[in-house]
Structure 1
Amino acid sequence: MSLQPSSPAPLPEGGERKGGFQLPPLALYVHIPWCVRKCPYCDFNSHAAGPELPEDAYVDALLADLEADLPAAHGRGLVTIFLGGGTPSLFSARALDRLLNGINRHLAFAPDIEITLEANPGTFEQEKFADYRRLGINRLSIGVQSFQTAQLQALGRIHDGNEAVRAAEMARRAGFDNFNLDLMHGLPGQDVAGALADLRQAVALGPTHLSWYQLTLEPNTLFWSQPPEIPEDDLLWDIQEAGQALLAAEGFVQYETSAYARDDRRARHNLNYWTFGDFLGIGAGAHAKLSDPHGHIRRTWKTRLPKDYLDPDKRFQAGERLLEAAELPFEFMMNALRLTGGVPAELFAQRTGLPLAAIAEPCAAAHAAGLLENDPQLLRPTARGQLFLNDLLQHFLP
C-alpha cells in the first residue's frame, strides 16, 4: 500500500468563525461489526460471525459510505484512522489493504498518521500481524482483558492467557513498536493480587499503552440480565489504588480516566475525541461528530444491523442531530475533563464557537465544590474531580 500524505488541513475561507471557532482536525472511525462470538459484557454493536465473512461486499459498502460523507470533510485530510469493532482482525490483510487504499483515494493522510487496528489474541489472527504492519497500520490495540483462566472464562473470552502473551510478542516481532493492551479489573472472583498479577504480566510484554478499566454491567447485555458476582466497592477501590500505584512505578502516566501511556505514546485517535475534534464514522452503527465552517456541529449515526448496512436499497445514515448552543458546554466538557491534565481554556472557544464567559458560572461552582482547578488558562479537573467526574459534569448540563 502506498499512502499519500496530506499537507496540514487549511482553515475554511475566512479562517476563524463565530466566537473564535476553528474547524477541528479530522479523524476516521471504521466499524467492523463481527466477532467470533458475542461476549456477555459487551454492549457494542457486534454480531457473531458466520462461517464466511462478506469482506468484499462490506469493503464496497464502507467506501460508498465514505464517499457519501466526503462533503463533511471540508477539504481536511485525516490525522488518525481507527479500525474498531467487533473484531476487525477477523478481516484479511487483502480486504484491509483495499479498504485503506480506497480511503486514501478520497482523503489525504497526514504524513505522521496514526492507524490503529483492534485485534483479539486468537492464534489465527496473530498470523496476520506482519501483513497488517506492511499495509501501513502502525498501532495495534489487543483485547486481552485478563491473563487468568478463571477470569477469561467468566468473561466468555475464547482465548487463554498464553495466547494473549503470544499475541503481544508476535505484535512486536511483526514490527509494531506502538501497541495497546486492553485490560479489565473488578472481574468476577478477582482480588487485589489477581488484578496486580494481570497488570504485571501486561507490563512485562512491553506495551506503550494500557487501557485499564473497570468491568461495568451495561443494559442490553447478558451480564445485565444475568449479573455475575463482582467485587464489593471497597475491594474495587483497593484494586484501583494499588493498580494505579503499580503503573506509575512502571513509568505509565495516567492521562485519561482509564488510559495509561509510556514515553508519551498516548492514543492520538482518542485524544482527538477528548479534545472535541471531528471524526467521520463509517460502518454498521458507526457514529460521527462533524463541524462545518460556520460553526454548526452535528452528530450522525449509521444503520446498525450489518444486513441492513449491506442492503443497496437502504441509506447508510440512520439519523443526525444538530447540537444546540446550550448543549455545547456539556458536550465539550464530557470529553475534555476525562483528561487528567485538562485542556487549554482557549480550546473551548475554538471547538464550540462560544466565549469562555458561557461557562464562567458553572466553572466557578465546580471550583467551589473542589472539582475543578482554579486556573483561567486551563480547564482541568482536580484529583477529586477525576474521582467524581459525573458530579463535575453535572455543573455543565444545559
Structure 2
Amino acid sequence: MRLPPLSLYVHIPWCVRKCPYCDFNSHEVTPGTHVTTRHAIGSEPAGNHVPEAEYVDQLERDLRSQLPWVQGRRLGSIFFGGGTPSLFSPVAIGRILDLAEALIGFQDGIEITLEANPGTFEQAKFAGYHSAGINRLSIGVQSFDPLQLQNLGRIHTGPEAEVAATQARAAGFSNINIDLMHGLPGQTEADALKDLQRAVELGVEHISWYQLTIEPNTAFYSAPPVTPGSAQIAAIQRAGRAYLGDAGYARYEVSAYGRAGRASRHNLNYWSFADYIGVGAGAHGKFTLPDIGQIIRTQRTRTPRDYLSLGLSTGSGDGGEAFPLPKTSPVAMAELPVEFLMNALRLEGGVEVETFSAYTGLPLAVLEREWRSLRAMELVEPLGPRITTSQFGYDYIDEILQRFLPRD
C-alpha cells in the first residue's frame, strides 16, 4: 500500500434557496449583506447574516487538526463546494487558500475550483476570486430554459447564466465549467440538446451533464415531478454524448465532458481512489494510512451551528481546547474491492491496473474470478493494463459492482 495523491475539499454550507432536488448539506439564508463581524460561537446569525469570519476561523482549526494525515504530501487540487461558496467574499476565500498553502503546500499547476451561482450578486465577485487564487470556476446553471429553471427552483435566468460565463472569462478565468441537468420534467431530446448547444456556444472548457435523480430528504422526493421515461432518457443521453463529442468535449467520466487537457483534476483524484481532506460542516474525507495498512473515511458534523461550536472550552478557562478530529470509520478489508471499483469504473478508460494493489494493499487476485465472469459477458476489458469496463459495460456499472459486494 502506498500513499496516493491528496486533494482538499472545503464545504460552504449556506445557500440563498434550497433547490427541491438537492440532497447536499446546504442551509438557506435570506439574501443580503454578508457580515464578517463576530458572533458568539455556536449562535446562529440573525436575519441575513452569514458568519463568514467565524466560519473561516473554524476551517483553519479543522484543517490544522487533520495535518497528521497529510503525511508530507502537497495538494494537487482544491474544491470549494456547497451550498453556495460564492456567498463568501473573495477576501475570505483568499484567506482559506493562504492557510492551505502555508500549512500543506501546493503542487505546481494546482487546480483550484469554486462553485458559483450565475446570479448578478456572484458575478460582481468573479474578478476578486480570480485574484485570490481561484483558477477554475464551476457555474451552476442546470438549464437555460426558463420553464425548467422554474421547475428546478433556481433563482437565476437563462440570460443571467450566459452573462455569468462571459463575465467569468472577462475576470480572467481560462478554465470554466458549466453544470447542466437532463431528464427534467417534460424535457424532450431537442430541449436537452438546446441546453448543451448554448453551453458549447459560450466556449466553456468543461461541461458536467448529469441526469436529474429523485433523492430522499428532498422536496422532489415528497412530491416527485413527472420526468421522461427510461427510453426517452436513453435517447437524450445518446444524442447529448454524440453532440458533445462532435463539439470537441471528450467524455472522461459518467457525467463529465472536457476539452483536451481540461478534465477536472479534482474529479480525477476522487475517481482514482486517491485521498482528500474534507473541512467544513458535513464535509467528508478519505485517508490512506500505509503504516497500519488501513484506509479511513472522515465526516464532520453537518449543521453550521454545531460546526461553529466545535472546540469550545470545557471549563479550563483558557478557551484553547484541542479541536476535535472528525468522526472516522475504517474501510473494512472486505469492502475495499467494491469501494475501489465504484470510483475507478466511473472513469472512461478506468485506471492503471497497478493502482489497485498500490492503493488498497490487496492482491489483484481478489478481483480475478468475478472479472473473468464479467469478461465472458463482454462487460469489462481484460484485467490489465487497465481496470476498465467495456464500452458496452460502461452503461452497466451498477450491475458490475454487485458482483464485488461483500457476502456474509
Of residues 295, 300, 307, the one that matches 2:298 is 300
Instruction: Tell me the TM-score normalised to structure 1 length.
Output: 0.93
The 5 A counterparts of 1:206-285 are 206-285=203-282
C-alpha distance in 2 between matches for 1:312 and 1:201: 45
Of residues 17, 22, 26, the one that matches 2:6 is 26
Q: Deviations over 1:240-270 (max 9, x none)?
A: 1111110011011111100001112000001
Deviation at 1:319, TM superposition (A): 2.1
2:330 partner amino acid? L
C-alpha distance in 2 between matches for 1:274 and 1:323: 16
The 5 A counterparts of 1:107-256 are 107-256=104-253
Unaligned runs of 5+ in 2: 31-47, 313-322
Deviation at 1:169, TM superposition (A): 0.5
Deviation at 1:293, TM superposition (A): 2.8
Of residues 366, 390, 396, the one that matches 1:388 is 396
2:169 partner amino acid? R
Instruction: Tell me the TM-score normalised to structure 2 length.
Output: 0.91
The answer for the alignment partner of 1:345 in structure 2 is 353
Specify the SS of the correspondent of 1:63. helix
> Contact (CA 8 Å) 2:19, 2:154: kept in 1 or not?
yes
> Contact (CA 8 Å) 1:181, 1:207: kept in 2 or not?
yes
Specify the SS of the correspondent of 1:396. coil
Q: Deviations over 1:144-168 (max 9, x none)?
A: 0000000000000000000000000
Specify the SS of the correspondent of 2:348. coil
Q: Deviations over 1:278-328 (max 9, x none)?
A: 000000000001011323100010010000000145665552111121111
Specify the SS of the correspondent of 2:290. coil
Specify the SS of the correspondent of 2:309. coil
1:367 partner amino acid? R
C-alpha distance in 2 between matches for 1:35 and 1:378: 41
> Contact (CA 8 Å) 2:214, 2:221: kept in 1 or not?
yes
> Contact (CA 8 Å) 1:309, 1:316: kept in 2 or not?
no
Q: Deviations over 1:51-95 (max 9, x none)?
A: 111000000000100000110101111111000000000100111
C-alpha distance in 1 between matches for 2:120 and 2:332: 48
Bigger shift: residues 317-326 or 136-145: 317-326
Deviation at 1:375, TM superposition (A): 4.2
The answer for the alignment partner of 1:46 in structure 2 is 26
* Matched residue count: 378
> Contact (CA 8 Å) 1:303, 1:316: kept in 2 or not?
no
1:326 partner amino acid? A
C-alpha distance in 2 between matches for 1:313 and 1:58: 13
> Contact (CA 8 Å) 1:182, 1:211: kept in 2 or not?
yes
Deviation at 1:384, TM superposition (A): 2.1
The 5 A counterparts of 1:44-83 are 44-50=24-30, 51-83=48-80
Deviation at 1:121, TM superposition (A): 0.3
State the percentage of identical aligned residues.
55
Q: Deviations over 1:321-362 (max 9, x none)?
A: 111211110010000000111111111011111111121112
> Contact (CA 8 Å) 1:365, 1:395: kept in 2 or not?
no
> Contact (CA 8 Å) 2:352, 2:384: kept in 1 or not?
no
C-alpha distance in 2 between matches for 1:296 and 1:85: 29
The answer for the alignment partner of 1:4 in structure 2 is none
C-alpha distance in 2 between matches for 1:238 and 1:381: 21
Specify the SS of the correspondent of 1:211. strand
The answer for the alignment partner of 2:40 in structure 1 is none
